[in-house]
Amino acid sequence: MQRNALVSAVALAAAVTGLMSLTGTAQAQDSYHWKMVTSWPKNFPGVGQGPERLAKLVDEMSDGRLTIDVYGAGQLVPGFEVFDAVSEGTAEMGHSASYYWKGKVPAAQFFAAVPFGMNAQEMNAWLQYGGGMDLWNEVYEPFGVEVMVAGASGVQMGGWYNKEINSVADLEGLKMRMPGLGGEVMNRMGVAIVNMPGGEIFTSLQSGAIDATEWIGPYNDLAFGLYQAADYYYYPGWHEPTVMFEAIVNQQAMESLPADLQAILRSAVADVNQSVLDEYTARNNDALKTLVEEHDVVLKRFPDDVLAKAKELSAQVVSELAASDPMAKKIYDSYSTFQDKVENYHAISEQAYYNARNPEGDTTQD
Amino acid sequence: MQRNALVSAVALAAAVTGLMSLTGTAQAQDSYHWKMVTSWPKNFPGVGQGPERLAKLVDEMSDGRLTIDVYGAGQLVPGFEVFDAVSEGTAEMGHSASYYWKGKVPAAQFFAAVPFGMNAQEMNAWLQYGGGMDLWNEVYEPFGVEVMVAGASGVQMGGWYNKEINSVADLEGLKMRMPGLGGEVMNRMGVAIVNMPGGEIFTSLQSGAIDATEWIGPYNDLAFGLYQAADYYYYPGWHEPTVMFEAIVNQQAMESLPADLQAILRSAVADVNQSVLDEYTARNNDALKTLVEEHDVVLKRFPDDVLAKAKELSAQVVSELAASDPMAKKIYDSYSTFQDKVENYHAISEQAYYNARNPEGDTTQD
């Protein structure tokens, strides 16, 4: 090649490269800009960190080809309208919990929290290797929504009470805020269930409008200041052995993505599923210490008779839900078969190990 | 613009696009082809599925720009030379467990399994939100290796014994296969520890060359046929409250990747970290049922005095390791501070919940 020809070739290559960076992005690698609506206040501690992390991971992995704006509850749609917004395509995706949709899909409650049901480790195993995830998608499919599991709270706390509970009789006549299936169980033990948004809990408890409330666990409960409004903090949260959170995606939006971006989105959700539980597990430790050591909160285990009665009534409430429609029955069968087996296995592994390591259980009050 | 000028512009755009697809891939999007060496037989059930899944996820997410060939133990390097191979760049990455490198880095054992230490949920929280991951990388940094956590076994089983263990005295004089810190604890209870590769365990137990062995849990133990060689299956696996697996990457290889592929690799590892535990949790249930119902395995809990003695000696062995070098001390301090707090928290959440749901514990023999 002569010198002039070489110069021309270099110049042409430079021109092509320059043009490529302008036109190439649009053609070979389309960009996508999504909205994610959530049921949590923007940047809410714990679960609210999940969607932020998700958006960041997807941005990094896709080199900016898929970017996601995260909206707190009420910023684009109210927290309880996340499912509809995703179903209708107002937002491409959402982060929430499936029990909020029980009015529309009663069977969905099995995927969020079941009283005396499975904990986070067990739920993840059932969802990924026990058929649970397929059932969850089957439930949402008619709404044009794809679902992925996207975080766990771990075993929650039993709640804050303004008096000691020494027997089932002590529950009778209490006014309590407890949503979902657990609330129905409490109701059958004589508790009047009051529903209210998170933002009203503190004032209602302090004013005496309610006598008790459950919220989440030490980390979120400390942030809410609930220890200032009630003296007794009960455990364990039999009504919510975990809440599993969900990432939901409009099916058409998902299908519009090329295969690599779909895979990136799924993997980012899996990462967040783990990290939300990790954060709760880590932060709850310190928050519990602060509650007990600095705020003199009295930590109490529910008496045996309350736990036994709650377990009996939970089985009743859950089987009534299963009887309510065929899809709920199908999920219940899968769920309870898996739980029977994993309970046996965890009895000799996780449970037996906890009890061997710490035979005395709770020693925080000693 | 006149018609001729428009035609020319369209032609130019088409030419540029054609060139772009030839030159763009090589320039903006280099491809990488990696080798991953592992310490497991190729496609080993449970942990061996992790590396395969990792390679598949990375391939999908990167649209083939980063492909990874997975090698079983001995296919490229022996299973116990994975760390060296990655450190030297023979392979770009590896999948293994950190206690295999205790001869080189004694402190690394804290990241795999600690007798009476933290379980999988606790380890993940410490690693990601308690400073553990930074310490792990500090330990491997001098070897040019970056590490990520990449799977968990969950609480393991205590092992197979050819006689009943009714007290610490019954352990004396037994010959047992148990590696790591747990083996040292057993040794202090009078057990002669024998080391051997996994492939020799069955024959040694059957021939009486050893009286007892630990392996992993129901799923892997059933596959190995250990029930044919010993009658008693003890729990819980206090010596390994989980094993955490590791993905290790040669630092130079990691730095050679563009930022998006680095993010993709990290996220795929996080996905696998969860899925290995999910698979174990799901498969162990069925395997346990098969062992008890079809193979009449006698499932037994270690007696209280054995568990109490093992706990006492474990504290001794672990603190001796901490005293052995400054890095081990630094990790021990972080680990044990976190464990103290999470034990308190889990006493009122996970542990209290297991005991409320299943007050009788193991009922498989009833």
Domain harbouring B263, CATH code: 3.40.190.170
Q: What does the mean pLDDT of chain A come to?
A: 92
Residue A303 DSSP code = P
Determine the Cα–Cα distance for residues A205 and A230; give it in Å rounded to an integer: 7
Tell whether A236 and A87 lie within a shared domain: no
Contact A125, A111 (CB under 8 A): no
Summarised one tens digit per residue, pLDDT across range A179-216 is 889 999 999 999 999 988 788 999 999 999 999 999 99
Contact B95, B38 (CB under 8 A): yes
Pairing of strands B159-161, B192-193: unpaired
Distance from CA of B78 to the nearest CA of A (A): 31
Length of chain A: 366
Q: Is the pLDDT of residue A365 over 80?
A: no
User: Which chain B residue has the Cα nearest residue A265?
Assistant: B61
Tell whether B35 and B87 lie within a shared domain: yes
How far is the first Cα of chain B from the last one, in angstroms, to the nearest whole number?
89
Mutate to test the interface with B, among A353, A355, A364, A366 (most CBs of B within 10 A): A353
A345 domain residue, yes or no: no
Task: Output phi, psi for A16, to 5 deg.
Answer: -65, -45
Tell whether B287 and B277 lie within a shared domain: no
B332 domain residue, yes or no: no
Which chain B residues are Cβ-neighbours of A217 within 8 angstroms? Answer: 349
Tell whether A294 and A194 lie within a shared domain: yes
Both tokens assigned to B59: 């391939």
Determine the Cα–Cα distance for residues B312 and A292; give it in Å rounded to an integer: 28
Give me the residues of A, 179-208, that contact B with CB < 8 A: none
A111 domain residue, yes or no: yes
Query: Is the CB of B31 inside 8 Å of chain A's CB atoms?
Result: no
Which chain A residues are Cβ-neighbours of B241 within 8 angstroms? Answer: 353, 357
Helix, strand, coil % in chain B, rounded to nearest 5: 55, 15, 30
pLDDT score, position A362: 76
Q: How many CB pairs under 8 A join A and B?
A: 290
Query: Is the CB of B361 inside 8 Å of chain A's CB atoms?
Result: yes
Which chain B residues are Cβ-neighbours of A289 within 8 angstroms? Answer: 341, 344
CATH number for the domain harbouring residue A198: 3.40.190.10
Q: Residue-wise over A89-121: b if at least 16 C-beta within 10 A, else e?
A: ebbbbbbbbbbbbbeebbbbbbbbbbbbbbbbb
Which chain A residues are Cβ-neighbours of B264 within 8 angstroms? Answer: 61, 264, 267
Q: Is the pLDDT of residue A363 over 80?
A: no
Beta-sheet strand order (sheet of A145-152): A66-71, A32-38, A93-96, A244-250, A145-152
Tell whether B215 and B276 lie within a shared domain: no
A103 domain residue, yes or no: yes
Tell whether A138 and A231 lie within a shared domain: no
Instruction: From residue B353, give the alpha-carbon distance in Å to each of A122, A221, A301, A348, B237.
Output: 13, 19, 10, 15, 20
Determine the Cα–Cα distance for residues B246 and B96; give it in Å rounded to an integer: 5
Q: Select the more confidently predicted residue: A295 or B2.
A: A295
**H or E element in which residue A93 lies:** strand A93-96
Q: Is the pLDDT of residue A264 over 70?
A: yes
Which chain B residues are Cβ-neighbours of A286 within 8 angstroms? Answer: 341
Q: How confident is the model at residue A66 (pLDDT cuts 50, 70, 90)?
A: very high
User: Which chain B residue has the Cα nearest residue A28?
Assistant: B21
Which chain A residues are Cβ-neighbours of B27 within 8 angstroms? Answer: 17
Listed range (A171-180, A259-268, B10-19) with the worst mean pLDDT = B10-19
Query: Is the CB of A27 inside 8 Å of chain B's CB atoms?
Result: yes
CA B26-B28-B31 angle, to 5 degrees, is 50
Tell whether B237 and B263 lie within a shared domain: no
Compare CB distances from B235 to A283, A286, A352 and report the shortest one's residue. Answer: A352
Determine the Cα–Cα distance for residues B119 and A312; give it in Å rounded to an integer: 30
pLDDT score, position B197: 76
Burial label for A25, CB within 10 Å (0-12, 13-18, 19+), is: middle
Burial label for B11, CB within 10 Å (0-12, 13-18, 19+), is: exposed
Both tokens assigned to A6: 């070489």
Instruction: Provide ipTM, 2 decimals.
Output: 0.92
Mutate to test the interface with A, among B215, B240, B345 (most CBs of A within 10 A): B345
Give A133's Cβ-side CA count (13 Å radius).
18
User: Cis omega before residue A236 (within 30°)?
Assistant: yes
Determine the Cα–Cα distance for residues A194 and B359; give it in Å rounded to an integer: 31
What would the mean pLDDT of A57-69 be, rounded to a whole number?
98
Which chain A residues are Cβ-neighbours of B350 within 8 angstroms? Answer: 119, 154-155, 350, 354
Q: For residue A64, which of A18, A92, A30 has the smallest C-alpha distance? A: A30
B306 domain residue, yes or no: yes
**H or E element in which residue B121 lies:** helix B120-129
Q: Residue-wise over A152-190: b if at least 16 C-beta within 10 A, else e?
A: bbbbbbbbbbbeebeebebbeebbbbbbbbbbbbbeebe
Compare CB distances from A358 to B124, B286, B351 and report the shortest one's residue. Answer: B351
Compare CB distances from A57 to B128, B237, B267 and report the shortest one's residue. Answer: B267
Summarised one tens digit per residue, pLDDT across range B137-178 is 999 999 999 999 999 999 999 999 999 999 999 999 999 999
Both tokens assigned to A15: 């021109």
Which chain A residues are Cβ-neighbours of B122 within 8 angstroms? Answer: 281
Check CB contact under 8 Å for B349 and A237: yes
Give me the residues of A, 78-107, that contact B with CB < 8 A: none
Contact A74, A80 (CB under 8 A): no
Check CB contact under 8 Å for A299 and B348: yes
**H or E element in which residue A159 lies:** strand A159-161
**H or E element in which residue A300 lies:** strand A298-301
Compare CB distances from B57 to A16, A218, A263 and report the shortest one's residue. Answer: A263
Tell whether A200 and A304 lie within a shared domain: yes
Compare CB distances from B278 to A129, A238, A358 and report the shortest one's residue. Answer: A129
Instruction: From residue A198, give the alpha-carbon distance in Å to each of A21, A28, A44, A220, A246.
Output: 48, 46, 12, 11, 19
Give me the residues of B, 259-298, that contact A with CB < 8 A: 259-260, 263-264, 267-268, 270-271, 273-275, 277-279, 281-286, 288-289
Q: For residue A36, which of A20, A51, A21 has the smallest C-alpha distance? A: A51
Contact B351, A366 (CB under 8 A): no
For each of chain B's 366 residues, which pLDDT tens digit applies?
344 444 444 444 444 443 444 443 334 579 999 999 999 999 899 999 999 999 999 999 999 999 999 999 999 999 999 999 999 999 999 999 999 999 999 999 999 999 999 999 999 999 999 999 999 999 999 999 999 999 999 999 999 999 999 999 999 999 999 988 999 999 999 999 998 878 899 999 999 999 999 999 999 999 999 999 999 999 999 999 999 999 999 999 999 999 999 999 999 999 999 999 999 999 999 999 999 999 999 999 999 999 999 999 999 999 999 999 999 999 999 999 999 999 999 999 999 999 999 998 876 554
User: Which chain B residue has the Cα nearest residue A62?
Assistant: B260
Helices (H), chain A: 3-27, 49-61, 82-88, 120-129, 132-140, 180-188, 201-207, 218-224, 251-256, 259-293, 304-324, 326-348, 350-357
Which chain A residues are Cβ-neighbours of B127 within 8 angstroms? Answer: 278
Q: For residue B47, which of B229, B283, B226 has the smallest C-alpha distance? A: B283
Compare CB distances from A16 to B23, B349, B364 and report the shortest one's residue. Answer: B23
Tell whether A130 and A181 lie within a shared domain: no
Instruction: From residue B245, give the alpha-carbon distance in Å to each of A355, B51, B99.
Output: 25, 11, 10
Q: Is the pLDDT of residue A366 over 90?
A: no
Q: CA B237 from chain center: how many Å? A: 15
Listed range (A73-77, A241-245, B20-24, B93-97) with the worst mean pLDDT = B20-24
Check CB contact under 8 Å for A129 and B341: no
Q: Residue-wise over B28-67: b if at least 16 C-beta within 10 A, else e?
A: bbeebebbbbbbbeeebbbbbbbbbbbbebbbbbbbebbe
pLDDT score, position A364: 57
Give me the residues of B, 147-176, that contact A with CB < 8 A: 154-157
Determine the Cα–Cα distance for residues A151 and A276; give it in Å rounded to an integer: 5
Number of separate domains in chain A: 3
Summarised one tens digit per residue, pLDDT across range A299-348 is 999 999 999 999 999 999 999 999 999 999 999 999 999 999 999 999 99
Q: For residue A282, which of B331, B337, B116, B266 has the smallest C-alpha distance? A: B337
Tell whether A306 and A190 lie within a shared domain: yes
Tell whether B177 and B47 lie within a shared domain: no
B359 domain residue, yes or no: no
A2 domain residue, yes or no: yes
Which chain B residues are Cβ-neighbours of A130 within 8 angstroms? Answer: 282
Which chain A residues are Cβ-neighbours of B358 within 8 angstroms? Answer: 343, 347, 351
pLDDT score, position B11: 44
Compare CB distances from A349 to B20, B154, B271 and report the shortest one's residue. Answer: B154
Q: Is the pLDDT of residue A261 over 90?
A: yes
Its domain, for residue B134, covers 28-152+243-281
pLDDT score, position A132: 98
User: Which chain A residue has the Cα nearest residue B25?
Assistant: A28
What would the mean pLDDT of A346-363 be, rounded to a whole number?
93
Question: What's this model's pTM, rounded to 2 decimal places?
Answer: 0.92
A348 domain residue, yes or no: no
Tell whether B87 and B127 lie within a shared domain: yes
CB-based contacts of A210, cutoff 8 Å, min separation 6: A175, A176, A177, A194, A196, A201, A204
**H or E element in which residue B235 lies:** strand B232-235
Q: Is the pLDDT of residue A260 over 90?
A: yes
Check CB contact under 8 Å for A353 and B241: yes
User: Which chain A residue has the Cα nearest residue B152?
Assistant: A121
Compare CB distances from A61 to B24, B260, B301 and report the shortest one's residue. Answer: B260
Q: Select the more confidently predicted residue: A362 or B108.
A: B108
Among the candidates A225, A257, A281, a domain finishes at A281
Compare CB distances from B347 to A124, A311, A358 and report the shortest one's residue. Answer: A358
Cβ count near A289 (within 10 Å):
16
